[in-house]
């Protein structure tokens, strides 16, 4: 079953240049998600963590959520969030962003401004006791189409350290409703 992540007839190579200068991008702790993809990841994460605060990386198997794996990224947390390395970069992420960032840090693939925004997003997730919700309405450069999404970020412990990995999954094609727009426009949820 598809989870609403299929995008067609868009030139994904133009995705990054317009962002973050154009569009909406909000990140905040939440246990409420609306897209099927985000709820699928949340349910799986909850089933693996049990009574613990977070599951371990060894508990988490992407094959169990193969239906959302194409729009999923797994990041290794380096030096308590000073940097992040992509352990896994889903195939649809390659298609959308035009890069395979597996094994790369954020700064290897993005501009200084984009790196700063992504580090802010991931550090918010590390500091949260709950999963983090991402809402975006990002304009594509030289296009009249907006790319809307809902994302979820969940932390995973390593075998010896807490918060050693972050799993990020996006539901592309998600249309923000009025409630989402209010949350996305709240200054507390936005990068400044």
Q: What is the pLDDT of residues 21-78, one digit of tens each?
A: 556 789 999 999 999 999 999 999 999 999 999 999 999 999 999 999 999 999 999 9
Is position 39 within any domain?
Answer: yes
How far apart are alpha carbons 82 and 35 in whole angstroms? 30
Give, for 151, the enclosing helix (H) or strand (E). Answer: strand 146-156
Residue 171: closest CA among 39, 77, 23: 39
Q: How far is CA 4 from the centre of its chain?
A: 15
CA neighbours closer than 13 Å in the CB half-sphere of residue 82? 3
- Indicate if the pLDDT at residue 143 is higher than 70: no
Is position 53 within any domain?
Answer: yes
- Specify the pLDDT at position 21: 54
Which range of residues forms the domain containing residue 151? 24-189
pLDDT in tens, 86-108: 999 999 988 877 789 999 999 99
Is position 179 within any domain?
Answer: yes
- Specify the pLDDT at position 3: 40
- Mean pLDDT of the residues in the chain: 84
pLDDT in tens, 181-191: 899 889 899 88
Is position 4 within any domain?
Answer: no
Q: What CATH code is carried by the domain that includes residue 40? A: 3.30.450.20
- Specify the pLDDT at position 22: 55
Is position 15 within any domain?
Answer: no
Q: How many CB atoms lie within 10 A of CB 45?
A: 21
- Indicate if the pLDDT at residue 142 is higher than 80: no
pLDDT in tens, 150-169: 999 999 999 999 999 999 99
């Amino acid at each position: 079953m598809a989870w609403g992540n299929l995008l067609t007839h868009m030139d994904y190579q133009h995705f990054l240049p317009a962002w973050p200068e154009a569009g909406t991008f909000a990140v905040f702790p939440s246990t409420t998600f609306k897209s099927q993809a985000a709820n699928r990841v949340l349910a799986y994460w909850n089933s693996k963590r049990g009574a613990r605060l977070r599951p371990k990386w060894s508990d988490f198997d992407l094959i169990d959520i193969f239906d959302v794996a194409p729009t999923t990224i797994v990041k290794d947390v380096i030096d308590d969030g000073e940097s992040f390395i992509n352990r896994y970069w889903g195939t649809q992420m390659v298609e959308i962003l035009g890069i395979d960032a597996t094994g790369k840090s954020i700064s290897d693939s993005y501009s200084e401004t984009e790196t700063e925004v992504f580090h802010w997003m991931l550090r918010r997730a590390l500091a949260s006791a709950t999963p983090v919700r991402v809402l975006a309405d990002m304009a594509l450069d030289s296009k009249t189409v907006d790319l809307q999404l809902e994302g979820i970020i969940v932390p995973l412990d390593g075998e010896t350290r807490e918060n050693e990995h972050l799993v990020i999954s996006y539901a592309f094609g998600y249309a923000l409703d009025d409630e989402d727009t209010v949350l996305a426009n709240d200054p507390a949820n936005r990068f400044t």
